[in-house]
Amino acid sequence: MEGLIMSNNFNVNVNGVKLYFLPVTMRVPLKFGPEITTEVTCARAAVRVENEEGKSAWGWGETPLMAQWFWVSSLAFTERLKSVKEFTMSLARAWQDFNAAGHPLEIGHAFQRDILPALLEAHNEKRREKEPDQEFMPWLAALVCCSAFDIALHDAYGNLHELPVYDTYGEPYMNRDLSTYLTPRLYIMAMDKIFSNSFDFFGNFIGEFQINILRYNLTCECHNSSFNNCSRRVSGISRPNRSR
């Protein structure tokens, strides 16, 4: 489903990428399954975006390459870390060459759909060529490695337009509405069991979606009480914890 498609003058494309690996020693050890972590390597990415008028801005993103939790395996941690670092470097080259234009959410979605799967497959085939019984790097690991560039892309977009990036998740900045990415039938059916009002993703953007969810969560249809205090449970919906 294509959803609502528009065009605007706020579109950008990626025209610069930098990548750094930062070693970090943890203040206290963390245990993930059988593994104890005392240090981590963070992937820090810088992405530059440019609009149609040639104006550009840099943004930054970072993610810890903690293979202990996104690649649970009997393989030695050093071997997994080496693999994800190599993959992250290939991601930097791929992002540099990616010429899609639009809002960061649209560009990131296109990259994850069109580039990331093939990039992971090529990476795993290379591992398999070196050692036939080599374990493949999982999809979750690829998503985590990619997240640093995606975060930097959103940051750069906000910097370019001199706005908090969360203020751009709607019109007039985005070209496609949420129905492009989401199929809400089951979700809306579940929502209707609790809330008297529901919404359609068609013609709505992230900003509207967040506002509606917050408004609907205030009152529960079961007994006209705060949703936080409602004991009724519906599959697929978790109650927000407003105490945090």
Res. 177 pLDDT band, cuts 50 70 90: confident
Inter-residue contact 37 to 25 (CB < 8 Å): no
Parallel, antiparallel, or unpaired: how do β-strands 35-51 and 56-64 relate? Answer: antiparallel
Could you tell me which residues come within 8 angstroms of residue 122 by beta carbon, excluding any fewer than 6 positions away?
Answer: 90
For the record, the structure tokens of 199 come out as 């919404």
**pLDDT-above-70 percentage for the chain:** 72
Fold of the CATH domain 12-166: Enolase-like; domain 1 (3.30.390)
Q: Give me the mean pLDDT over the 218-243 stretch.
A: 38
Q: Which amino acid is at 233?
A: R
For the record, the structure tokens of 50 come out as 């440019």
For the record, the structure tokens of 26 come out as 């943890």
Q: Cα(208)–Cα(124) distance, rounded to whole angstroms?
A: 40
DSSP-derived 3-state class of residue 122: helix
Can you say how many angstroms the Cα of residue 13 is from the centroid of all Cα atoms in its chain?
18
Res. 200 pLDDT band, cuts 50 70 90: low
CA-closest candidate to residue 88, choices 123, 121, 49, 112: 123
pLDDT tens digit sequence for 27-81: 998 887 777 888 899 999 999 999 999 999 999 999 999 988 899 888 988 999 9
Q: What is the mean pLDDT of the chain?
A: 79
Res. 185 pLDDT band, cuts 50 70 90: low
**pLDDT-above-90 percentage for the chain:** 50
Inter-residue contact 21 to 47 (CB < 8 Å): no
List phi, psi (to 5°) of 210. -65, -40
Q: Cα(40)–Cα(80) distance, rounded to whole angstroms?
A: 12
Q: For the chain, give every domain's residue range.
A: 12-166, 178-229
pLDDT tens digit sequence for 75-106: 988 999 999 999 999 999 999 999 999 999 99
240: pLDDT strictly greater than 70: no
- β-bridge mates for residue 16, sequence order: 48
pTM above 0.85? no
CB neighbourhood size of 5 (10 A):
9
